[in-house]
Amino acid sequence: MLLYYIEKRVQKSFYVPISSVYKSALGVLSLDQKIPVLIIGGGIVGLSTSLFLSSHGINSLLIERHPSTSIHPRAAGYYPRTMELYRSVGLESTILDYSQKFNTPCIGKGETLIGKEEFRYDLPNDDFLNKITPTTYANIPQDVLEPIVLAHARVLGSDIRFNTELVSFEQNNEGIAALIKNRTTGVEQTVYAQYLVAADGSKSPIRQKLKIPIQGLGKVGDSMSILFKADLKKALMGRKFNVFYVDNQQVSGLLAFYDDRSLLTFPYYPEKGDHIENFTDDYCTKLVRSAIGDPNLDLDILKIQPWEISSFVAKSYQNNRIFLVGDAAHVMPPVGGFGANTGIQDAHNLAWKLAYVLKGIANPSLLATFEIERKPIAEFTVEQATLRLMSHSGSRESSSDKIVDEMNVTLGYSYRSQAIIEEESDLIPFSNDSRQRTGQSGTRAPHFKLKRNNDSLSTLDLFGHHFVLLVGADGRDWSKAAQKVAKRLNIVLDIHVINKEKNLLDVDHLWCDTYGVTSKGAVLIRPDGFIGWKSQNKVENPEQTMEQALSQLLCLDA
């Protein structure tokens, strides 16, 4: 019912007949099908990959062996950078509307939820965020978010099939041949794809078949999650939490809150004699009551689920025409809530590169920059999540002094690759303060407020689909040169002049300082919103400079 409502709502926004949304999914299938991209795995990362590809006009087929999107809340916190990505494809407002019913981003700790509050941490508020981003956090359970992304992807043309599994696949230099099967009917079909994206989870069968090893600690523990339904108004006493850590003699773990549902997660130890069979409904009810601090709490146990805590990164993200994203590429402890966010950012980075190669605009060597750019980010983020886990568990190996602020982990990173033209100044991989970037090549293009006529917008609203050239009011030479180069390279290049009449007004006069240029400078933004090249001032031959820059970013010289 939720999916139907979302699809009707999204359909209305885009004026697409609902019949066309399902045409590819429900129509009569040929025995063989040729597609640009095949995606294996319909979790939030796989769905986002399909969505981002469709936003670039690339058709994909996504298959998921389960009958529907997730039925478990799983990840629930989405950082502003992730919301910026969804904003770029028109999905931000829908997600934020749904997230309003869930609790605010606040973390607490105590012996029990009812007991004395020992610790409280509020994530940065909108006053802080407004300086660095046009969006905010979204606290929304994954089982609510996935249908929203699914509906939007289908409206944009994605072919997404549930109850469908990958039987086998083979690849060569020309593409991938995959045998897929409808698990309901048993009908098998061969599909031919130019590229395959593995979003098939932490135990990724595709990664295993390709014999790609993992690097890191591997499994670091076992956890148990109890999803339950209870009226917690009395226990919360008007407070609102994203998560609340509890620690008493009966249970030590965390509570997460999803409107009328809640989740208790805690470690358990099979090596010490704990067995899954022991976690009966009665026993789990006692544990929940102990965590809340109310021995008479009336509750319903909805699901009891064991899972592994792991910490690793795949040694390689690419095997010829196959790419790993999300948990197939990296798995991290849940502390910090970085996992799904990192996977969605993988998908966004890969999607534009696949699109430009498939359209013949970029050289296929551009795809090698996916691993070069994203793997170091995953390694650092996995390390940060693991440090947080050790700190919470009181491990002697914990190094709390190495823990970096969440905003800098999720917003302050930078890329170095062939698809970035580095400046002479040294660029640190992660900023110590996500507000202090000055438009360096390889970093996320900074946000500041703009006004077009009477409409307010962010610099980030200019990015997401094409390359974008930002020039100052005195940068006319850059604009003329860029138009000629774009035509010659057959590329769509959006050109925006800052502080020029009838174009974009820099409301707070931040353009030069924020991007580190003069009014005669220029900045080239990639489709993923990262700065690919910058010139602080004018140059003698802007046309030649611009052609060299775009050619390198598209790896045309490879």
| Domain of residue 493, CATH code | 3.40.30.120
Mean pLDDT of 243-259: 90
Answer yes or no: is 411 within a domain. Answer: no
Answer yes or no: is 398 within a domain. Answer: no
Q: Are residues 45 and 151 in the same domain?
A: yes
Q: Are residues 304 and 337 in the same domain?
A: no
Q: Give me the pLDDT at residue 436, please.
A: 57
Q: Are residues 198 and 237 in the same domain?
A: no
Q: What is the CATH number of the domain that holds 146?
A: 3.50.50.60
Model confidence at 513: pLDDT above 60: yes
- Where does the pLDDT of residue 2 fall: very low under 50, low under 70, confident under 90, or very high at 90 and above? very low
Q: What is the CATH number of the domain that holds 306?
A: 3.30.9.10
Domain boundary among 282, 311, 340: 311
- Considering only CA atoms, which of 510, 535, 512, 511 is closest in space to residue 522? 535
Q: Are residues 382 and 302 in the same domain?
A: no
DSSP H or E run through 345: helix 339-358
- Whether residue 343 contacts residue 355, with contact meaning beta carbons closer than 8 Å, is answered with no
DSSP H or E run through 382: helix 368-393
Q: Which residues pair with 121 in a beta bridge?
A: 107
Model confidence at 281: pLDDT above 60: yes
CB count within 10 Å of CB 302 equals 14
Q: Give me the pLDDT at residue 301, please.
A: 96
The Cα 383–Cα 330 span in angstroms is 11
Q: Which residues pair with 166 in a beta bridge?
A: 180
Helix, strand, coil abundance in the chain, percent, nearest 5: 35, 30, 35
Range with the poorest average pLDDT among 34-43, 179-188, 233-242, 307-316 = 233-242
Task: Give percent of the chain above pLDDT 90.
Answer: 71
- Considering only CA atoms, which of 469, 558, 465 is closest in space to residue 53? 465
- Whether residue 352 contacts residue 224, with contact meaning beta carbons closer than 8 Å, is answered with no
How many angstroms from the chain centroid is the CA of residue 1? 26
Q: Which residues pair with 182 in a beta bridge?
A: 164
Q: Are residues 290 and 325 in the same domain?
A: no
Active-site positions read 245
- Where does the pLDDT of residue 103 fall: very low under 50, low under 70, confident under 90, or very high at 90 and above? low
Q: Give me the pLDDT at residue 167, please.
A: 97
Answer yes or no: is 68 within a domain. Answer: yes
Mean pLDDT of 324-342: 95
- Where does the pLDDT of residue 77 fall: very low under 50, low under 70, confident under 90, or very high at 90 and above? confident
- Give the β-pairing of 261-268 and 330-331: unpaired
Please state the domain count of the chain: 3
Q: Are residues 158 and 220 in the same domain?
A: no
What secondary structure does DSSP assign to 41-97, as a single string?
A: --SHHHHHHHHHHHHTT--EEEE-SSSSS-SS----EE-HHHHHHHHHTT-HHHHHH
The Cα 311–Cα 455 span in angstroms is 45
Q: Are residues 68 and 81 in the same domain?
A: yes
Bigger pLDDT: 293 vs 437: 293
Model confidence at 21: pLDDT above 80: no
The Cα 87–Cα 95 span in angstroms is 9
Domain boundary among 283, 311, 339: 311
Domain hosting residue 64, numbered range: 2-97+140-213+315-387
Q: Are residues 326 and 454 in the same domain?
A: no
Q: Are residues 376 and 277 in the same domain?
A: no
Residues 400-417 have pLDDT tens digits of: 678 888 888 999 899 999
Answer yes or no: is 432 within a domain. Answer: no
Cα Rg, the chain, nearest whole Å? 24
- Considering only CA atoms, which of 101, 106, 104 is closest in space to residue 144? 101
Q: Are residues 323 and 200 in the same domain?
A: yes
Q: Are residues 548 and 497 in the same domain?
A: yes
- Where does the pLDDT of residue 433 fall: very low under 50, low under 70, confident under 90, or very high at 90 and above? low
Q: Give me the pLDDT at residue 15, please.
A: 29
Axis crossing angle, helix 80-88 with helix 92-99, rounded to the nearest 10: 130
The Cα 520–Cα 499 span in angstroms is 12
Answer yes or no: is 131 within a domain. Answer: no
The Cα 270–Cα 211 span in angstroms is 29
